[in-house]
Amino acid sequence: MSTTAISFIIIIFLVHHVRSESVLASSPEQPHRTAFHFQPPKNWMNDPNGPMYYNGVYHLFYQENPFGPLFSNQMYWGHSVSLDLINWTPLELAIAPTQPFDINSCWSGSATILPGNKPVILYTGIDSEYRQVQNLVVPKNLSDPYLREWVKYTGNPIINLPEGIQPYDFRDPTTAWLAEDGKWRIIVGSQKDKKGIALLYQSEDFVNWSKHESPLHEVVGTGIWECPDFFPVSVDSTNGVDTSVKENYAANARVKHVLKVGLFDYHKDYYLIGNYSPEKENYVPQNELTLGTLRYDYGKYYASKSFFDPVKNRRILMAWVNESDSVEDDIAKGWSGLQAFPRSIWLDQNQKQLVQWPIEEIEMLHENEASFQNENLEDGSLHEILGITAWQVDVTISFKLSNLEEAEKLNPSGIDPQLICSKMDASKKGKFGPFGLLALASHDLTEQTAVFFRVFQNNGQYVVLMCSDQSRSSKRNGLDKTTYGAFADIDPQQDEISLRTLIDQSIIESFGGGGKTCITSRVYPTLAIGDDARLFAFNNGTQSVVISELRAWSVKKARINVEETIGYTDQ
């Protein structure tokens, strides 16, 4: 379980004085509740837990404090189900702190589908002595399509705190994988003397687990690893790969393996791509885990969890997006936290990074398309995108550049792209850039969130910088208005610079270069709300750029937290 909000514990007594009623998305009293991003009707939510597909139904579990809008020292597992990953029906709490092995919290974990189509969940419990231990639960009734009730294994904990590890540094078991030797494997996040560790465990029966003599991987100086994820990705296809297919672990398997870890000290998800040998229990990453290494998302995006979707043969990624306002704000509105929109993920053709893209089901919510082509944007140009709901929109735009030899020079080596974005925000004129979108903008542009690019040259090659500038996102004070940034793997000589952005009331998710670089922001406009929100394409660079194509759709409100019986087909 991610513990970004641990500091909130000192004021957790406030939770028990808050009993907010259910609220409607984006109502006048709650203008920043989302319409098509998952969030409970009230109270605190963080990590997605154990997402899975089972017998025709998608399941999303999540960390929840059912008693108030702040992180609690007694966390539960919330549970919702869906047929399409868009519309979600709420269910009863799935796991509650009731036994000595989890009495002080039920923290994060993962689901695995065992042979015979039997789902199980492993999760971290905070026991009666405040030690982190790993526990097992199974469905009470496999014939229930919703899997409403879960039963704790009487032999819990199945994995105790290992020797030499601090009681609070052992958490978040992964989905298990099965190799050709017939043994199940999981990893659990840990640390020792600031060395981040993926502890490896093996089992033949999923109940009795033994720690392997060596971790799957470890990196000095990275601190506690939480919410780890380990899964195969195809080198030949954009299709997803099931974690537990034995052929994935054969010597000639056409897969690489992704190890994702959440670095608690930085509240960011980093990932490695490499080769895994179960015979040697050896994982060799092709990139290093440093603060400059690959990340799923360069904005607010943490505690992510992926799962294989057999319906459409894809791997789906979900993640927690926390608030950017204050504890007092959360208490006042009665809720905190939401889930990023589900993303399909696959390995890029160059095998150096992952690609992420909103799942195609979002098209179910599309309406009122606006589009245009071949629009030239001179220095200082604005083009308002009309005919759509600018506060709930899915927009794609592609920019074509010429005269690239005029680009400013920049050597990206050793440079923090986020720092460049902060110093050269959307108001700072360059040659190629800033150009992009002004999202959730007020009519006078005093409120705006700019998602934009800048292009530089370096020794005959070109460097593309992607930024999300929140500095003018709201008139309110006391908000986190961090400007985010990352370099994008785009060659503007060969390819157009593309951007896709999902805007939903208070969240802006942006996908640059076809999903190679992603940035998520949380913003709280005071003017650009509802019908008063506007959306612009812009160019503030001295060199003109051409919008080769723009397409935008209004996005309707999804049916989330609607208590109704969903259809069910046994598959």
Burial of 314 (0-12, 13-18, 19+ CB in 10 A): buried
Q: How many separate helices (H) and strands (E) can be counted in the chain?
A: 2, 37
Catalytic residue among 47, 127, 325, 330: 47
Distance CA 104, CA 97 (A): 6
CB atoms within 10 A of CB 563: 8
Type of residue found at 249: Y
Sort residue 394 into left (φ over 0), alpha (ψ -120 to 50) or beta.
beta
Sort residue 26 into left (φ over 0), alpha (ψ -120 to 50) or beta.
left
Q: Clarify whether 47 is annotated catalytic.
A: yes
Distance CA 404, CA 407 (A): 5
Tokens of 507: 């969240």
Distance CA 40, CA 560 (A): 8
Per-residue H/E/C for 505-534: CCEEEEEECCCCEEEEEECCCCCCCHHHCE
Sort residue 130 into left (φ over 0), alpha (ψ -120 to 50) or beta.
left
Tokens of 40: 């409970």
Distance CA 54, CA 310 (A): 9
Cis peptide before 434 (omega within 30 of 0): yes
Place of tokens 């398997």: 253
Distances (CA, A) of 474 to 177, 225, 291, 518: 46, 34, 29, 22
Q: Catalytic site residues? A: 47
